[in-house]
């Protein structure tokens, strides 16, 4: 796909990797539409880059439907989607206090909230965008943002499950949608230099990055390069690109 012909929805566009994706696609000539709960972040994105947006939750079917309709109204049509919105609520499956012996299991709220946003939100947005692209009869691209944690990371049963799930869905959708000339891929970042990492204690960050063979976090633009590759390479579908500095989990 030529990015100058692209009309892309980016979920989670208000901050972090999503903001980088939205900004870089726009600067490359694509029309971009943001979808996020963070209205303040979306407003500043529009002020800085002229990117229109919809404020809502990807986990809400009503919001997902409305966001895609708003994007179509804003850009004329949609032929691209980056499913980037995601959250984490880290906890061990069951934690035992070393002093008291008290057991604290992961709560249903911790489990379900992450499933709703990361997995169901990805499904809802892809469903609505794919329906539009098939109805319009034009090619398109969907990219799901996964994580190196998809292989399983201690304390992230909920998050790891969702990030494995979005890769599985990319593979299946790549097969199901190929007949409509819709390609689907996934990108699995490692640690990226976003506000989350920037807010960590230096000693904790140093310990974490010591696990990475390259000994550093990714620049968000380096993650964008993988997303851009999937959009531009017309022979890519149903696979995941790892951009994690070589880390093993």
Q: Is 53 part of the annotated catalytic residue set?
A: no
Residues 6 or more apart whose CB falls under 8 angstroms from that of 165 comprise: 118, 119, 122
Q: Given the residues 54, 159, 180, 235, select the one marked as catalytic.
A: 159
Could you list the active site residues?
Answer: 159
């Amino acid at each position: 796909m030529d990015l100058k012909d692209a009309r892309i929805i980016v979920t989670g566009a208000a901050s972090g990797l999503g903001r980088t994706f939205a900004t870089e696609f726009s600067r490359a000539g694509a029309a971009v539409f943001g979808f996020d709960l963070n209205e303040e972040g979306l407003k500043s994105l529009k002020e800085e880059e002229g990117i229109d947006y919809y404020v809502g939750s990807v986990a809400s079917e009503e919001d997902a439907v409305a966001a895609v309709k708003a994007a179509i109204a804003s850009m004329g049509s949609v032929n691209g989607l980056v499913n980037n919105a995601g959250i984490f609520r880290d906890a061990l499956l069951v934690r035992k206090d070393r002093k008291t012996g008290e057991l604290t299991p992961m709560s249903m709220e911790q489990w379900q909230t992450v499933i709703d946003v990361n997995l169901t939100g990805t499904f809802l947005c892809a469903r609505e965008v794919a329906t539009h692209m098939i109805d319009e009869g034009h090619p398109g691209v969907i990219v799901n943002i996964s994580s190196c944690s998809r292989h399983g990371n201690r304390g992230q049963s909920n998050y790891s499950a969702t990030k494995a799930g979005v890769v599985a869905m990319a593979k299946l959708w790549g097969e199901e949608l190929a007949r409509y000339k819709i390609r689907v891929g996934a990108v699995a970042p490692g640690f990226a230099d976003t506000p989350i990492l920037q807010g960590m204690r230096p000693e904790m960050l140093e310990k974490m990055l010591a696990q990475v063979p390259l000994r550093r976090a990714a620049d968000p633009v380096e993650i964008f390069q993988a997303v851009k590759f999937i959009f531009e390479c017309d022979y890519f579908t149903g696979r995941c690109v790892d951009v994690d500095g070589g880390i093993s989990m």
